[in-house]
């Protein structure tokens, strides 16, 4: 009678390592959600991004994201999402805008354009109108312009100035917190990076806490007269 075949720990490890992992498990492990914008194929059991296939018709949406709206379509508790405002299928945000920030958010169904706008390596400038607490000094403005030391490193040089119009937007709903005897100032900041909550962290680091933040442009695309919650479809010229 033949003895049952035994496996060493080493050979057992080799067998389990070479076992094919189902596609769904790989996607879940990598937090990858396949959609019409980005596709993936699998090579040697690893998810690899497929060359972007442009859609038959490119949709390019400029949206004025209101305060306290998530930059996503999927539901999250009782918070408002893009689905509350936009009913165009198969478009996705090119980048993000924080829940408590407002202003221009671009959406598209074109993966190449999405990458062109959102990826930090593309150096796509984004401009913000920022209401800060206090009156910036020349020293503080220079710090913001030259780069601010944050926990994740020094920021790249930015374009910063005090805005001529100190009442550029209607009052927010709900309004910002009111503090008696504290002056607020609107400044304009243009950056080409995409760190998490970067502008807010920059102003806080130089002693100018952000009270309100509105993105006014992404590259040459402008917020213009779009009201909060409104969107329009445009031709993506210049990309």
CA–CA dist 206, 208 (Å, integer): 6
Token pair, residue 22, equals 């189902």
* Size (the chain), residues: 239
Chain position carrying tokens 């690899």: 48
pLDDT band of 52, cuts 50, 70, 90: low
pLDDT above 80 for 217: yes
d(CA 156, CA 215): 18
Looking at per-residue pLDDT, the higher value among 73 and 17 belongs to 73
Q: What percent of the chain has pLDDT over 90?
A: 65
CATH topology of domain 54-121+224-239: Alpha-Beta Plaits (3.30.70)
pTM of the model: 0.77
pLDDT, position 1: 52
Same-fold call for 54-121+224-239 versus 125-218: yes
Residue 205 and residue 149 in contact, taking contact as beta carbons nearer than 8 Å: yes
pLDDT at 5 over 60: no
pLDDT for the residue numbered 145: 98
- Which position has the higher pLDDT, 11 or 221? 221
Residue 205 pLDDT exceeds 50: yes
Mean pLDDT of 105-121: 90
Enumerate residues 6+ apart whose C-beta is below 8 A from 124. 116, 117, 118, 192, 218, 219
Cα distance between residue 78 and residue 80, in whole Å: 7
Give 32 or 4, the one with higher predicted confidence.
Answer: 4
Average pLDDT over residues 90-112: 95
Mean per-residue pLDDT for 197-222? Answer: 97
Could you tell me the fold of the domain covering 125-218?
Answer: Alpha-Beta Plaits (3.30.70)
Which of 78, 87, 98, 224 is catalytic? The answer is 98
How far is the C-alpha of 134 from the C-alpha of 155, rounded, in Å? 22
Other C-beta atoms within 10 Å of 100: how many?
A: 13
The C-alpha R_g of the chain, in whole angstroms, comes to 23
* Other beta carbons less than 10 A from residue 124's beta carbon: 20
Contact assessment for residue 146 and residue 202, using Cβ atoms and an 8 Å cutoff: no
98 is known as an active-site residue:
yes
Residue 165 has pLDDT above 90, yes or no: yes
Query: What secondary structure does DSSP assign to 187-239, as a single string?
Result: EEEEES---TTHHHHHHHHTT--EEEEEEEEETTEE-TTPPTT-EEE---TT-
The mean of the pLDDT values for the chain is 83
Question: In the chain, where are the structural domains located?
Answer: 21-51, 54-121+224-239, 125-218
Distance CA 69, CA 65 (A): 7
Pairing state between β 149-150 and 153-154: antiparallel
- DSSP tag of 67: T
Residue 27 has pLDDT above 60, yes or no: no
């Amino acid at each position: 009678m033949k003895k049952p075949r035994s496996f060493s720990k080493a050979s057992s490890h080799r067998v389990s390592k070479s076992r094919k992992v189902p596609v769904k498990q790989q996607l879940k492990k990598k937090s990858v959600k396949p959609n019409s914008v980005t596709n993936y194929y699998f090579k040697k059991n690893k998810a690899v991004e497929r060359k972007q296939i442009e859609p038959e018709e490119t949709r390019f949406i400029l949206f004025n994201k209101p305060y306290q709206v998530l930059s996503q379509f999927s539901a999250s508790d009782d918070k408002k999402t893009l689905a509350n405002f936009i009913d165009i299928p198969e478009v996705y945000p090119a980048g993000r805008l924080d829940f408590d920030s407002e202003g221009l958010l671009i959406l598209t169904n074109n993966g190449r354009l999405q990458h062109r706008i959102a990826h930090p390596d593309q150096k796509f400038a984004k401009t913000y109108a920022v209401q800060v607490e206090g009156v910036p000094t020349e020293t503080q403005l220079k710090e913001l312009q030259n780069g601010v030391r944050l926990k994740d490193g020094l920021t790249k040089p930015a374009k910063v100035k005090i805005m001529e119009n100190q009442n550029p937007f209607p009052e927010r709903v709900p309004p910002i917190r009111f503090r008696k005897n504290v002056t607020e100032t609107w400044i304009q900041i243009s950056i080409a990076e995409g760190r998490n909550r970067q502008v807010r962290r920059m102003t806080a680091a130089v002693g100018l806490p952000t009270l309100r933040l509105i993105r006014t442009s992404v590259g040459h695309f402008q917020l213009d007269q779009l009201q909060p919650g409104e969107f329009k479809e445009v031709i993506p010229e210049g990309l």
